[in-house]
Amino acid sequence: MAVHSHIERVLWNQDQISARVSDLASQISAAFAGTSSPPVLVGVATGAFIFLADLVRRISLPIAVDFVRVESYGFGTQSNGAPRISSDLKVDVKNNHVILVEDIVDTGNTLSCLIAHMEAKGASSISVCTFLDKPTRRKVNFQLVGEGKFYRGFECPDYFVVGYGMDFAELYRNLPYVGVLKPECYQ
Ligand code: 5GP
Ligand code: MG
Ligand code: MG
* ipTM score of complex: 0.97
What are the backbone dihedrals phi and psi of residue 185, each rounded to the nearest 5 degrees, phi first? -80, -10
The residue contributing the CA closest to ligand 1 atom 19 is: 160
Residue ranges of the chain with per-residue pLDDT less than 50: none
Q: What is the largest CA-CA distance in the chain?
A: 52
The residue contributing the CA closest to ligand 1 atom 12 is: 47
Residues with Cβ within 8 Å of 134's Cβ and at least 6 positions away in sequence, in order, are: 104, 105, 106, 155, 156, 157, 158
Ion ligand 3: residues, CB within 5 A, are: 73, 167
Are the beta carbons of 34 and 28 closer than 8 angstroms? no
Is the minimum distance from the CB of 162 to ligand 1 under 6 angstroms? yes
For residue range 111-138, what is the model confidence (pLDDT) as tens digits? 999 999 999 999 999 999 999 999 999 9
Q: Which 3 state secondary structure label does DSSP give 65?
A: strand
Are the beta carbons of 78 and 134 closer than 8 angstroms? no
> What is the amino acid identity at position 149?
K
pTM, two decimals, is 0.95
